[in-house]
Each structure stands twice: as structure tokens, then as C-alpha cells.
Amino acid sequence: MSLPDRMTARLPEMLGDIEQLVTCESPSVDPVALAASVEVVAAMGTRLLGTPPERIKVEGRIHLRWRFGAGPARVLLLGHHDTVWPSGSLSTHPYGIRDGVLRGPGCVDMKAGLVLAFHVLAELSTPDGVTLLITCDEELGSPTSRALIEKEAAGCAAALVLEAAAAGGALKIERKGTSMYRVRAHGRAAHAGLEPERGVNATIELAHQVLALAALGDPALGTTVTPTLLTGGSASNTVPATAEVAVDVRVRDIAEQSRVDAAVHALRPVLPQSRLEILGGPNRPPLMPVATAELFAVATEVAALLGLPVPGSAAVGGGSDGNFTGGIGTPTLDGLGAVGGGAHADDEHVLVAELPGRAALIAGLVEELSRR
């Protein structure tokens, strides 16, 4: 039986496993929900892989690792089980399959990808040299797992990231780097009716800074600097003493990331007696095509040999843990997970018919890389 046929035979079990993961909610910011999800993921992996994971606790968060074989790891499969969906989302976005489309919070980002990883490794006759790492803080920027990810990827021939595919099933060969900032303006409070002139309005100061921040983007280079969440003041009749804005930065190369970082930290207050506080900085380096080109070529060869549609390629703005593996020089290929769409959105979904072919592609790629 061919590899695609074997994966097709696994589809009913895959769907049951996806349902189990999706219906166990796991928002990144909910420790109780994450703890329950860790147990579900660990039990599923133990059942399918025949061995329990190592539990790696970092700052109270538990990451799961399976290592196969006694020698050094050559291929890293990388995923996460945390989601952006708050607890209770199943009541408004219930799990279900209709007309070949699977829906539910976190289904494409990236619980279906985890199920693909488990079934791929269960199907391989000898997964020696493969490491599967599943983290629980990717949606927060991987603050407790980054060092672990980079350590596991170091020296590997390939890091295969099971994030959702791009449109049409395309593999992700480029991701923008990300930086995250909080710019806080400090002023002085005063009564807005009795003596506003004695105050220093932090909201007005921050308004100047928001405009300066937005001007740092460079559309020609693909650099975006986006002020997002804005807070300020303490009461409607008080001159605000503090105000703060979150800033999302996306860049295609390290030079732009460094330029924007220097510019953000060089911001200076406009209003007399006001003060600025700059928090944050670069989070993920860009995933560059040089890190993905070789593996993408191997994936297209494997797809052709298996009789699968040759996947396209895509450059995307969102970051992933693949940015870290590519950033340390490990060949990386991203977007190997489920085909679907709507990540983080109301229409998040997985195309059921694409799951067996995706699993076959991952399995064939792992086998080919292990042979090489």
C-alpha cells in the first residue's frame, strides 16, 4: 500500500484525534486550561508513538518532547498546542465537520498539525533521529520555549514546522521578523476643569509618538510599524498622567529590524515636562528564503515521487517558531501543517480531504531527509 493510501486509511482516526484536541480548549493565557491540554496531548502522543514524552518545565510552563533513536537528532518536528481562543469559545465556535470542512477554535492553528505529526511518526517504520517538540507559548511569542527550540534545532539537518499551510496548501518559505514594543508616556495629572494648565497631558504626548511610530514603516521594503492597543488616563475629568500604546513591527530582513529598533528607542518627548518609557524589542528574526530553499526543493521532489500535487510557496507576514530555527542557521520549512484557513478568525477551518496527502508529504519528507 502506498504512503498516501496508508494515510488515507488513518483519516477516521485522525479526525477523532483532532476533535479531542480542539474540544480541549488551550488559550495561552489560561494556566489551568493549558495544564489540561498538556495531559491530553501527552496521552495522545503516548498512545500513537508508544512512549511518553519528556516534560520540560520552564517558568511554570510544560513543553513536551519525544526523541527517537540513540544518536543525535537530525530532523526536528515543531509545533504548539496553545491557541489565541479564550476559554468558552467552543460555545460560540463549536467543533464540527460539514461538507468536508472541519471547524473549531484552534483547529488549523495548529491542533490538526499536531495530529498530523503524531500519525506521521506512528506510520514511519524507523523514526530514529527525529525529535518532536510541542510547546505551549507560541502565541505569546515563545518567551519560555525559545531557548529550548533553538537548542533542539541546533545541529539538525532540518526543522519542519507544522503550522498551517498558506493559501492553496502552499509551503511557507519566508516569514517576516517581528518586534513588539510598548511606548509609555508619562505626564502629570490635574483636574481637567479647575486647573488643566497644571497638568501635562500624557495622551497628547502619546498622540505625537503614535504618528512618529507610524512614519517608521517602509512599504517598499515590506516594513510595517503598526500602533495597536492604546490605553491612557484614569478618569474622564482628569488630565492623563500616563498613556501607553502597543506597537507591532514586521520586517523582511535583519537590517530593517535593527533600523526600526534604533528609531523606536530614539523617540523623544514633544511636550515640556513629559517623559517616555520604551519597553520591548525584537522578538523573532526574519525567516529568510536562504534558510528554506533547499528543503522546499526536497519537498517538491517528494511530492512528485508520491504522486501528490506539488505544493506552491508563499511569503507571509506572520511569525512562527520557524523564525527561531531559521535564525540560528538550521534549514527550515514552514507551513507543513493542515490546509485550510482563517487562523485566529471566526472562519478558522481545515479541509478534511487534504489531510491524508499532507500527512503523506510530511512522512515522505522525513524519510527522505533521514536517508540523506
CA distances from 118 to 9, 316, 339, 362 (A): 15, 26, 17, 11
Q: In whole angstroms, what is the distance from residue 77 CA to residue 130 CA?
A: 7
Q: How many domains does the chain have?
A: 2
Asked whether residue 68 falls in the same domain as residue 14, the answer is yes
Asked whether 126 and 369 are in contact (CB, 8 A), the reply is no
Asked whether residue 158 falls in the same domain as residue 66, the answer is yes
329: how many CB neighbours lie within 10 A of its CB?
Answer: 12
Given the DSSP bridges, would you call strands 75-80 and 130-135 parallel, antiparallel or unpaired? parallel
Q: In whole angstroms, what is the distance from residue 164 CA to residue 160 CA?
A: 12
CA distances from 318 to 133, 199, 263, 334 (A): 21, 41, 22, 11
User: What is the mean pLDDT for each group of 10 consecutive residues in the chain (372 residues)?
Assistant: 95 98 98 97 97 97 95 93 97 97 98 98 91 97 96 96 96 97 98 97 98 98 97 97 98 97 98 98 95 96 96 94 96 98 96 98 95 80
Asked whether 22 and 93 are in contact (CB, 8 A), the reply is no
Asked whether residue 181 falls in the same domain as residue 298, the answer is no
Identify whether 110 is preceded by a cis peptide bond (ω within 30 of 0): yes
Cell of 75: 530532523
Asked whether residue 336 falls in the same domain as residue 259, the answer is no
Instruction: List, in order, residues 6 or more apart from 195 with CB less than 8 Å away.
Output: none
Give the per-residue pLDDT at 72.
82
Active site residue 5: no
Domain boundary pick from 239, 256, 284: 284
* CATH number reported for the structural domain that contains residue 68 in this entry: 3.40.630.10
Give the per-residue pLDDT at 70.
83
**Three-state secondary structure call for residue 53:** coil
Question: Domain range for residue 182?
Answer: 177-284
**Three-state secondary structure call for residue 255:** helix
Asked whether residue 171 falls in the same domain as residue 240, the answer is no
Asked whether 80 and 134 are in contact (CB, 8 A), the reply is yes
Q: In whole angstroms, what is the distance from residue 337 CA to residue 173 CA?
A: 14
Asked whether residue 9 falls in the same domain as residue 104, the answer is yes
Give the per-residue pLDDT at 87.
96
Asked whether residue 68 falls in the same domain as residue 32, the answer is yes
Give the per-residue pLDDT at 297.
97
Beta strands in the chain (DSSP E): 54-58, 61-67, 75-80, 96-98, 101-103, 130-135, 158-161, 171-175, 177-186, 224-232, 242-251, 275-284, 313-316, 332-333, 340-341, 349-351
Asked whether residue 161 falls in the same domain as residue 140, the answer is yes
Active site residue 137: no
DSSP label at residue 85: P
The per-residue b/e assignment along 48-59, b for 16 or more CB within 10 angstroms, e otherwise, is bbeeebeebebe
Cell of 77: 518536528
Of 261, 231, 259, 260, the residue nearest 246 (C-alpha): 231
* CATH number reported for the structural domain that contains residue 187 in this entry: 3.30.70.360
Instruction: List, in order, residues 6 or more apart from 368 with CB less than 8 Å away.
Output: 298, 301, 302
**Three-state secondary structure call for residue 58:** strand
Domain boundary pick from 284, 306, 330: 284
Asked whether residue 163 falls in the same domain as residue 189, the answer is no
Asked whether residue 271 falls in the same domain as residue 145, the answer is no
3-class secondary structure per residue, 94-154: CCEEECCEEECCCHHHHHHHHHHHHHHHHHCCCCCCEEEEEECCHHHCCCCCHHHHHHHHC
CA distances from 126 to 68, 231, 363 (A): 9, 54, 11
Asked whether residue 151 falls in the same domain as residue 43, the answer is yes
Of 283, 285, 282, 288, the residue nearest 334 (C-alpha): 288
The label of the residue with cell 535583519 reads 254
Asked whether residue 17 falls in the same domain as residue 51, the answer is yes
Phi, psi of 313 (to 5 degrees): -130, 155
> Which residue in the list 138, 139, 256, 321 is annotated as catalytic?
138
> Which residue in the list 17, 19, 25, 82 is annotated as catalytic?
82
Give the per-residue pLDDT at 299.
98
Give the per-residue pLDDT at 73.
85
Bridge partners of 133, per DSSP, are 65, 78
Domain boundary pick from 284, 309, 344: 284
